[in-house]
Amino acid sequence: MKTLLDLYTQCKAGDAKAQRILYDLFKGRLMGLCRRYTRNREEAQDVLQEAFIKIFSNVDQLDAPEKLESWMKAIVVRTAISAFHATKNKMLLFSTSERAEEQEDFQSLESVSDAYLISLVNALPDGCRIVFNLFAIEGYSHAEIANMLSISEGTSRSQLHHAKYLLKEKLKCQNLAHYYEKFA
């Protein structure tokens, strides 16, 4: 089993087998990251492919091999945001469309699956979903989000607030809002 440092060194040298091993090692985690920023699996696969092209093309620019995974994640996030900009062409960030299908009623928080929670986040309007993921999941600041998305910090804050509101409303429909308020 090759170490990550060995894989990094071999990928930097252009070794196709090492690139394949690195791809296989990280494709699942990075695909999950792509799914949080795209509307469907096909878009996520496109973003993942584009991200790996950037990763392998620029691996020689990484100075600290121990930061390989976080560097790869940052490339995936930037690639997903670029794809969003390209497909939406600076669309209005607020959209009131609901894309999630109605789910069965849940009586307790324990009965809520991860898949259902992910579907709630994925059903958010694009701008809200992206800001929510960047802030709540990835830990970026509003200043960093504003810079990445070419919006103001106020818009980033507003998008996050709107995302939380929409999630809370959706949970209210499932009689779960009191859990949200308890943990929010």
pLDDT digits (tens, 9 = 90+) for 15-39: 999 999 999 999 999 999 999 888 8
**Of residues 61, 63, 55, the one with CA closest to residue 27:** 55
Report the domain count for the chain.
Answer: 2
Q: To the nearest whole percent, how much of the chain has pLDDT over 90? A: 48
CA–CA distance from 81 to each of 31, 87, 184 (Å)?
Answer: 14, 10, 26
Q: What tens digit of pLDDT does each residue of 103-130 get?
A: 333 344 455 566 777 788 888 998 999 9
Residues 172 and 100 in one domain: yes
What is the mean pLDDT of the segment spanning 128-143? Answer: 91
Residues 28 and 95 in one domain: no
Query: Which residue, of 89, 113, 136, is where some domain finishes?
Result: 89
Q: What is the pLDDT of residue 17?
A: 95
Residues 97 and 150 in one domain: yes
Q: What tens digit of pLDDT does each residue of 67-95 get?
A: 999 999 999 999 998 888 777 644 444 44
Residues 110 and 179 in one domain: yes
Residues 124 and 146 in one domain: yes
Q: What is the pLDDT of residue 77?
A: 93
Query: Which residue, of 63, 89, 115, is where some domain finishes?
Result: 89
Q: What is the pLDDT of residue 168?
A: 85
Q: What is the pLDDT of residue 88?
A: 64
Residues 56 and 123 in one domain: no
**Of residues 115, 125, 108, 118, the one with CA closest to residue 174:** 108
Q: What is the mean pLDDT of the chain?
A: 81
Give burial (CB, 10 Å; 0-12/13-18/19+) of 116: middle
Q: What is the pLDDT of residue 170?
A: 83
Residues 139 and 57 in one domain: no
**Of residues 31, 53, 37, 34, the one with CA closest to residue 149:** 37
Residues 152 and 85 in one domain: no
Domain containing 137 equals 91-184
Going by pLDDT thresholds of 50, 70 and 90, the confidence category of residue 174 is low
Most confident stretch, 24-33, 93-102, 169-178: 24-33
**CA pair distance 173, 165, nearest whole angstrom:** 13
Residues 71 and 140 in one domain: no
Query: Which residue, of 46, 72, 89, is where some domain finishes?
Result: 89
Residues 81 and 98 in one domain: no
Residues 57 and 119 in one domain: no
Residue tagged 């949080």 (tokens): 36
Does the structure show a pLDDT above 80 at 180?
no
Q: What is the pLDDT of residue 73?
A: 94
Higher pLDDT, 116 or 60: 60
CATH number at residue 25: 1.10.1740.10
Does the structure show a pLDDT above 60 at 59?
yes
> Is 130 strand, coil or helix?
helix
**CA pair distance 104, 102, nearest whole angstrom:** 7
CATH number at residue 143: 1.10.10.10
Residues 103 and 174 in one domain: yes
